Chain A
Amino acid sequence: MRYLQNPNIVVREEPGDSWLFFDPDTNQKRFSNAVGASVWQLCDGTRDLAQIVEEVCAAFDGAPPDQVGADVRALLQSMEADHFIVRAA
Chain B
Amino acid sequence: MAGSSLTPTPHSVDISLTGRCNLKCTYCFYANEMTALTDLPTEKWLACFEELGRLNVMEVTLSGGEAFTRPDLFELIDGVIANRMRYSILSNGTLITDKTLEQFAVGKRRQRLNYVQISIDGSRAEIHDASRPKSFTRAVRGLRLLKEAGFPVTVRVTITKHNLYDLENIAALLLEDIGLPSFSTNDAIPMGSGCQNEADVALGPREQYEAMQIMGRLLERYPGRLNAQAGPQAKIQMYAEMEHARRTGEKTTRWGMGRLTACGCTFSKLAILHDGTIVPCNMLTERLGNITTDSIRDIWHTHPVLVAMRERRFIPMQDVLGCADCEWAPYCNGSCPALPYTLYGDFNRANPHDCYRRFLQEVGHGVSA
Q: Which residues of A contact B (CB under 8 A)?
A: 8, 10-17, 22, 24-25, 27
A24 touching B7, Cβ below 8 Å: no
- B residues within 8 A CB of A16? 1-2
- B residues within 8 A CB of A11? 56
- B residues within 8 A CB of A10? 56, 58, 84
A15 touching B1, Cβ below 8 Å: yes
Task: Identify the closest chain B residue to A12 (Cβ).
Answer: B56
* B112 CB-CB contact with A under 8 Å: yes
* Shortest CB distance B206–A (Å): 42
User: Can you name 18 extra interface pairs (CB under 8 A) apart from A8-B84, A12-B7, A27-B114?
Assistant: A10-B56, A10-B84, A12-B56, A12-B58, A13-B1, A14-B1, A15-B4, A15-B5, A16-B2, A17-B1, A17-B2, A24-B58, A24-B81, A24-B84, A24-B85, A25-B108, A25-B111, A25-B112
Interface centre among A8, A14, A17 (most CB of B within 10 A): A14
Chain B interface SS verdict (over half):
loop
B112 touching A12, Cβ below 8 Å: no
8 A-B pairs within 8 Å (CB atoms) are namely: A10-B56, A12-B11, A14-B1, A14-B8, A16-B2, A17-B2, A24-B85, A25-B111
* Shortest CB distance A89–B (Å): 22
A24 touching B1, Cβ below 8 Å: no
* Shortest CB distance A28–B (Å): 11
Interface magnitude class on chain B: 10 to 19
A12 touching B8, Cβ below 8 Å: yes
The distance in angstroms between the C-alpha atoms of A27 and B4, with both chains bound, is: 25
The distance in angstroms between the C-alpha atoms of A25 and B81, with both chains bound, is: 9
* Shortest CB distance A30–B (Å): 13
- The 7 A-B residue pairs whose C-beta atoms are closest, nearest first, are A12-B56, A15-B1, A10-B56, A24-B84, A22-B58, A24-B86, A10-B84
Q: Which residues of B contact A (CB under 8 A)?
A: 1-2, 4-9, 11, 56, 58, 81, 84-86, 108, 111-112, 114
- A residues within 8 A CB of B112? 24-25
A13 touching B8, Cβ below 8 Å: yes
- B residues within 8 A CB of A12? 7-9, 11, 56, 58
- B residues within 8 A CB of A17? 1-2
Which residue in B6, B84, B108 is a CB contact (below 8 Å) of A15?
Answer: B6
- A residues within 8 A CB of B11? 12
The distance in angstroms between the C-alpha atoms of A24 and B114, with both chains bound, is: 10
* Shortest CB distance A41–B (Å): 15
* Shortest CB distance A40–B (Å): 14
* Shortest CB distance A8–B (Å): 6
- A residues within 8 A CB of B85? 24
* Shortest CB distance A49–B (Å): 27
The distance in angstroms between the C-alpha atoms of A13 and B7, with both chains bound, is: 8
Task: Identify the closest chain A residue to B267 (Cβ).
Answer: A15
* Shortest CB distance A22–B (Å): 5
- A residues within 8 A CB of B108? 25
Interface centre among B5, B58, B114 (most CB of A within 10 A): B58
- B residues within 8 A CB of A13? 1, 8
B56 touching A15, Cβ below 8 Å: no
